[in-house]
Amino acid sequence: MADKYIIGVDGGTQSSKVVVYDLLGNVVCEGKRTLLPMERPKPRYAVHPDDDLWESIVAASREAMTKFPGDPADILGVGLCTIRCCKAFLKADGSLLEPVMSWMDTRAYEPWIPDDPELAYATTSSGYMTHRFTGQFRDSAANNIILQWPIDTDTWQWDPELFEQFNMRPELLVELQMPGDIAGYVTADAAAATGLPEGLPVVTTANDKAVEALGSGSLDEHTALVSLGTYIASMVHGHENCKAPADFWTNFACIPSTYLYESGGVRRGMWTLTWFLDLLGPELAAAAATQEISREDYLEREAELVPAGSDGLMTVLDWLAPTDKPFRKGEIIGFDVRHTRGHVYRSILEAIALSMKENADAMCAELGVDLREIVVSGGGATSPLFMRIFADVFGVPASRNVGSSGASLGSAICASVATGVYPDFSTAAAAMKRGRESFAPDAANHDVYRRLNVNVYRTIRDATDPILEQSFSIFQ
């Protein structure tokens, strides 16, 4: 199996990435394409414009294959992972009836389907992408969330008793498969579009957070994965299908018939940092360019000089309000003359870590789990400052994987199992995982964050919710 390769597809909310790995999990080459801005035709609606999810994967695939130094015949398979909680409504030929509905669209969690005679299938983003790659109407059971689809979480199959509740007709649903199954093979049309070899096995994975957990190597029940994306969540693996938890929800894992316990999260989490960078405009971009570094790295240098707690500046991350409290807005409070843009930047990082600490603690207390380590994944994990903040807030070592990991590697692990490279998921994950770099907590900083969380941060919304609710009718 020397000089053989596996491809992992990671279709996210802000970009699509296609990575070619060797069989030990080393990156050979990759392609990436940023998605178009979300379209918002009405309040609380959000859709991906045109056919952007597919076209971004096409562009990323072509870039990766252009860079690929080997023989395409030595590629064994492609694992397919896309954004969870999206909905795609298809015509009989598999083309889109309308643009893909984002997870940020309130209709995605309602029993709503288009009233259109051309509607033939209702599926997830991965079900749609599976058809684009293979021509088959199939999807991963592990990307069908019980909040949205009539699925039996014990059997991982459609539950006819739930069809009426979800306003779903059985003929609209596609065939379900388990993670690590071969859904089909790259068609001639898909090969021509993407540059991938025709006939390449396309392998089912799971929802993107579960695939990221597999690729990040956080399989220990005492290790939480903190996934830094547009939606930020913390997760631990388990084997029991907990059906009525209070402080977490039970998600399908990327290993068949196992589960992933997921805490409350932060909506538009890492997006908030992008928003702030964009707000600073071309001056910041030009300053960073003169030093040949990113905007993030430029501001991080300023934030490094700011003490833990940002001199009292606090951010509340409600840039996308929860559906049950639509009046909430993002907040940055506590300004005085000391504060700079570095303070604001650090305050946003601290707000993310403090929010996830609160959510992870509630989940682990209910599960009876003591966290010994957190693994941080996503683009934000490249920041040493962010990693130190996580360690200081949680009070346990915060680790990040060396090299590429996350959903693209998790997709490749699934493909390696399906194509017989490795006999099972545990073996594949152990063989393909990368080493970790760990950041130890600072005791003094941990004490600052502990007092901030217990005495202040937990109660900010109690104080500001009445004001925001009063203004909602004016400024919604």
Q: Tell me: the pLDDT tens digits for 285-315?
A: 999 999 999 999 999 999 999 999 999 999 9
Q: What confidence category does residue 341 fall into, taking pLDDT thresholds of 50, 70 and 90?
A: very high
pTM, whole model, 2 decimals?
0.85
> Which tokens in the block code for residue 2?
């020397």
Report the CATH superfamily, name and number, of domain 5-209: ATPase, nucleotide binding domain (3.30.420.40)
Write out the H or E segment, with its range, that includes residue 457: none
Helix axes 269-290, 295-303, angle to 10 degrees: 100
pLDDT in the model for residue 455: 86
Q: What confidence category does residue 1 fall into, taking pLDDT thresholds of 50, 70 and 90?
A: low
> CA 87, CA 237: separation in Å to the nearest integer?
26
pLDDT in the model for residue 312: 96
Strand duo 231-238 + 373-377: pairing: unpaired
Write out the H or E segment, with its range, that includes residue 359: helix 341-367
Q: Residue 349 — left, alpha, or beta (φ > 0 → left; ψ -120 to 50 → alpha)? A: alpha
pLDDT in the model for residue 379: 83
Taking residues 404-429, what's their average pLDDT? 92
76-85, 217-226, 334-343 — which is least confidently predicted? Answer: 217-226
> CA 97, CA 113: separation in Å to the nearest integer?
11
Secondary structure percentages of the chain, helix, strand, coil, to 5: 40, 20, 40
Residues near 46 by Cβ (< 8 Å), separated by ≥ 6? 38, 39, 40, 101, 102, 104, 105
Taking residues 209-223, what's their average pLDDT? 83
405, 21 contact by CB (below 8 A): no
363, 261 contact by CB (below 8 A): yes
pLDDT in the model for residue 153: 96
404: pLDDT strictly greater than 80: no
2: pLDDT strictly greater than 80: no
Q: What confidence category does residue 415 fall into, taking pLDDT thresholds of 50, 70 and 90?
A: very high
Q: What confidence category does residue 434 fall into, taking pLDDT thresholds of 50, 70 and 90?
A: confident
Mean pLDDT over the full length of the chain: 94
Among 36-40, 321-325, 345-349, 370-374, which range has the highest average pLDDT?
Answer: 345-349
375, 400 contact by CB (below 8 A): yes
Q: What confidence category does residue 205 fall into, taking pLDDT thresholds of 50, 70 and 90?
A: very high
Taking residues 20-25, what's their average pLDDT? 95
Q: What confidence category does residue 229 fall into, taking pLDDT thresholds of 50, 70 and 90?
A: confident
166, 30 contact by CB (below 8 A): no
Q: What are the start-end ranges of the E strands in 200-350?
A: 201-204, 223-227, 231-238, 249-252, 259-262, 266-267, 314-316, 331-333
Half-sphere exposure of 167 (CA within 13 A, CB side): 11
Write out the H or E segment, with its range, that includes residue 411: helix 407-418
The CATH code of the domain at 218-404+442-476 is: 3.30.420.40
Instruction: Report which of 234, 236, 235, 462 is spatially closest to residue 353, judged by C-alpha positions.
Output: 234
422: pLDDT strictly greater than 70: yes
> CA 237, CA 221: separation in Å to the nearest integer?
5
384, 377 contact by CB (below 8 A): no
Q: Tell me: the pLDDT tens digits for 92-143?
A: 999 999 999 999 999 999 999 999 999 999 999 999 999 999 999 999 999 9
Q: What is the dihedral of CA 20, 24, 27, 29, to 10 degrees?
A: -40
pLDDT in the model for residue 405: 65
214, 410 contact by CB (below 8 A): yes
Query: How would you class 239 by CB atoms within 10 Å of its CB: exposed for 0-12, middle for 13-18, buried for 19 or more?
Result: exposed
pLDDT in the model for residue 238: 87
> Which has the higher per-residue pLDDT, 90 or 214?
90
- Looking at 36-165, list the stretches that DSSP marks H as alpha helix, in order from N- to C-terminal side: 52-67, 125-134
Q: What confidence category does residue 182 fall into, taking pLDDT thresholds of 50, 70 and 90?
A: very high
Q: What confidence category does residue 217 fall into, taking pLDDT thresholds of 50, 70 and 90?
A: confident
CATH 3.30.420.40, the chain: domain bounds: 5-209, 218-404+442-476
**Share of residues in the chain with pLDDT > 90 (%):** 84
Q: What confidence category does residue 219 fall into, taking pLDDT thresholds of 50, 70 and 90?
A: low
Q: How far is CA 192 from CA 48, 132, 287, in A?
A: 23, 12, 41
